[in-house]
Amino acid sequence: MKGNIILIGFMGSGKTSVGRRLAKKSGMEFLDTDWEIEKEQQCKISEIFNKQGEAAFRDMETDLLKRLLNRQNNAVISVGGGLPVQEQNQEYLKKLGTVIYLKASEESLWNRLKNDTTRPLLQGGNGREKIHKLMEQREAIYEKTADRIIETDGFDPDGVAEVILNKILGSDRT
């Protein structure tokens, strides 16, 4: 297993903001799979969904993950909320490093996502219900893929980064 720290969890769980802060505090490099894909494709995730469809985006995620496995070490990597859903990706994530699930209640996810316009899977219709349905499908996957679960409700991104830094990076990594 490689020495990366990988943050998984639902959209709006704070993976990117926590990851950025954790990387800064620990001196590790920071990478976000959505950003990497946007850079490579030179367009926004919502455009990829619109023009090429979700399946094409999922293939891009898996392809990127395989490449990260070959080249990336000692980085903090935040991954898109749907990336761990594909079974082969769960295997790759585990090989890539320590997987941390940033767990948040549906209530706090909804509060953070209700005005969002960038996530194609939540646009149109009843957003709260969409979160509920997706969480039903994904919660068990996040839990089984993770080495550690961090409850994030009540913490700001800085606080979550501190918890990871002290409880996980401080104790597990020698």
- Chain residues binding ligand S3P by CB under 6 A are 11, 15-16, 34, 45, 80-82, 119-121
Least distance from C-beta 165 to ligand S3P, angstroms?
A: 21
> Which amino acid type is present at position 112?
R
Collapsed DSSP state (helix, strand, coil) of residue 166:
helix
Q: State the residue for tokens 């969409």.
A: 130
The residue (of 49 and 155) whose beta carbon lies closer to ligand S3P is 49
Q: State the residue for tokens 């802060």.
A: 21
Largest CA distance in the chain: 48
The residue (of 80 and 127) whose beta carbon lies closer to ligand S3P is 80
The residue (of 69 and 135) whose beta carbon lies closer to ligand S3P is 135
Burial of 2 (0-12, 13-18, 19+ CB in 10 A): middle
The residue (of 122 and 163) whose beta carbon lies closer to ligand S3P is 122
Least distance from C-beta 160 to ligand S3P, angstroms?
A: 15
Collapsed DSSP state (helix, strand, coil) of residue 30:
strand
